[in-house]
Amino acid sequence: MKRPRVDTEANHRLVTRRAAILGGVQLAFVGALGARMQFLQVDQADQFRLLAEENRINIRLIPPSRGEIFDRNGVPLARNVPSYRIVIVREDANDVEEVVQELSKLVSLDPGEVQRAMAEMKRSAPFLPITFADEVSWEDLSRVSVNAPALPGVTPEVGLSRVYPLGSDYAHVLGYVGPVSDYDLERIEDPDQLLRIPRFQIGKVGVEAKVEENLRGKAGARRVEVNAAGRVMRELDRQEGIAGSDMQLTIDAKLQSYVQARLSGESASAVVMDVRSGDLMAIASAPTFDPNLFVRGISSRDYKALTKNKYRPLASKTVQGTYPPGSTFKMITAMAALEAGLIGPDETVYCPGHLTVSGRRFHCWKRAGHGWVDLETSLKRSCDVYYYDLAVKVGIEKITAMANRFGLGERHDIPMSAVARGLTPTKDWKRSVHDQSWVVGDTVNASIGQGFMLASPLQLAVMTARLASGMAVKPRLIKTIDGIEQPSGAGESLGMNENNLRKMRRAMYAVVNDRRGTAYGSRIIEDAVRMAGKTGTSQVRNITAAERRAGVVRNEDLPWERRDHALFVNFAPYDEPKYAVAVVVEHGGGGSKAAAPIARDVTLQALYDGEPPLDAYPTKDRGRIETQQQVLRGIQPVANISGRDQA
CB 289 within 8 A of CB 316: no
Q: Where are the alpha helices (DSSP H) in 359-485?
A: 375-380, 384-394, 396-405, 427-434, 440-447, 457-469
β-pair partners for 274: 579
Is the peptide bond between 287 and the residue preceding it cis, with omega within 30 degrees of 0?
yes
d(CA 459, CA 465): 10
Q: Where are the alpha helices (DSSP H) in 39-80?
A: 45-54
d(CA 81, CA 86): 17
CB 198 within 8 A of CB 319: no
Other beta carbons within 10 Å of 587: 21
d(CA 642, CA 61): 51
d(CA 114, CA 131): 9
Please list, in sequence order, all residues whose beta carbon lies within 8 angstroms of the beta carbon of residue 212, skipping any fewer than 6 positions away.
202, 203
Is the peptide bond between 573 and the residue preceding it cis, with omega within 30 degrees of 0?
yes
Backbone angles phi, psi at 279, to 5 degrees: -60, 130
DSSP string covering 582-613, please?
A: EEEETT---HHHHTHHHHHHHHHHHHTTSPPP
CB 490 within 8 A of CB 276: yes
d(CA 457, CA 320): 9
d(CA 636, CA 631): 5
Q: Which residues carry out catalysis?
A: 327
**CB burial of residue 283 (10 Å; 0-12, 13-18, 19+):** buried
Other beta carbons within 10 Å of 416: 24
